[in-house]
Amino acid sequence: MANKRLINKLIKSKPALFVNELEGLIRHMPNLLDFENKRVYFRKELQKLRRGQYQGSVELFIRRDNIFRDSYEQLSKRNPDELKARFHVNFNGERGQDAGGLTRDFFIELSREMFNPNYSLFTLSSSGATYYPNPKSHIIGSDHLNYFKFIGRIIGKAIFDECLLECYFVKALYKIISGEELSIKDLEDFDNEYYNNLKWCLENDVACLMTTMVVEQDYYGKVEEIELIPGGRSIPLTNENKWVYVEKIAHYRLYKSIAKQIDKFLEGFYELVPKELISIFNFKELELLISGLPNFDRKYHFLG
């Protein structure tokens, strides 16, 4: 730990001397560097991506009370190079030139609106402060997956333009974006009761549960059994296979049940920020990159 602090302090004090070393450390030992040094490297790489890109600007005409749909209609069909250009935002009925402030305002308001319950795109975690894709998002219509791609693009664009957003996701989604492996514990801040039930399974005799290797999914009152492993309906849950059961069911809740939504989100996000570049950050750092320092009034703590 002492060596890590020293290395990061040296890099910050004499950055010009460590240009080549920084790239090597980022590539091979990203965990050795702190967030600030990673962010410096990240910004330099984004500058390289901006060179030679589409040099025009994208003109947006937005109604504040319809910001999500107006933005979607005007941006969803743009190609990734166009989205990397400067946005010029015009709010309907408002006078004033966009010198950067309106664009930042646009990103903040749009990031809030994407969680509007009327769109049914996200669901609240058990903490009531963070969000995760809604497995029932299809209820808004056939465009729901395109909305997730659009949201991924918007978050990627905000990072690309170094604009902070007011959006807070559960730990699992940050880990998926940065390419970190999911674990059972990632369920804790998403659905605490469900996590505790799985934890109980690991710590107790499960023979009394009389269940099999399946997970139940409720589709508007109709319960469907999803096999966690091939032939799972006919394989009893036992003390010998309960670790497999818990791992599979956690993965189902955190990814498989919403794989289409997450994959579309990532597709849009990586169009603006390459996966290999964003993966230098861990999930805690990624939250800082997207939303800045967390609001400690929230029940969710970013160090959790």
Whether 212 shows a pLDDT value over 90: the answer reads: yes
Q: What is the pLDDT of residue 11?
A: 59
Residue 205 has pLDDT above 50, yes or no: yes
Please tell me the distance from the alpha carbon of residue 148 to that of residue 155, in angstroms, as a whole number: 11
Nearest-10 Cα torsion for 280, 285, 288, 291: 70
According to the model, what pLDDT value does residue 216 have? Answer: 87
- Return the higher-pLDDT residue of 65 and 12: 65
Residue ranges and CATH numbers for the domains of the chain are 57-181+258-291 (3.90.1750.10), 184-254 (3.30.2160.10)
pLDDT digits (tens, 9 = 90+) for 260-282: 999 999 999 999 999 999 999 99
Rounded-to-integer distance, Cα 110 and Cα 113, Å: 5
User: pLDDT (tens digit, 9 = 90+) per residue, 121-148?
Assistant: 999 999 899 999 999 998 888 889 999 9
Instruction: Please compute, for residue 111, the number of CA atoms within 13 A of its CA located in the half-sphere on the CB side.
Output: 25
CB–CB of 244/125 below 8 Å? Answer: no
Q: From residue 167, how far is each of 40, 107, 229, 293 by CA, in Å?
A: 23, 10, 35, 12
Task: Report the pLDDT averaged over residues 287-300.
Answer: 68
For the chain, what percent of residues have pLDDT higher than 90?
63
Query: Each residue of 235-254: pLDDT tens digit?
Result: 999 999 999 999 999 999 99
Confidence of residue 56 (pLDDT cuts 50, 70, 90): confident
- pLDDT band of 303, cuts 50, 70, 90: very low
pTM: 0.87
So what's the pLDDT on residue 299?
Answer: 40
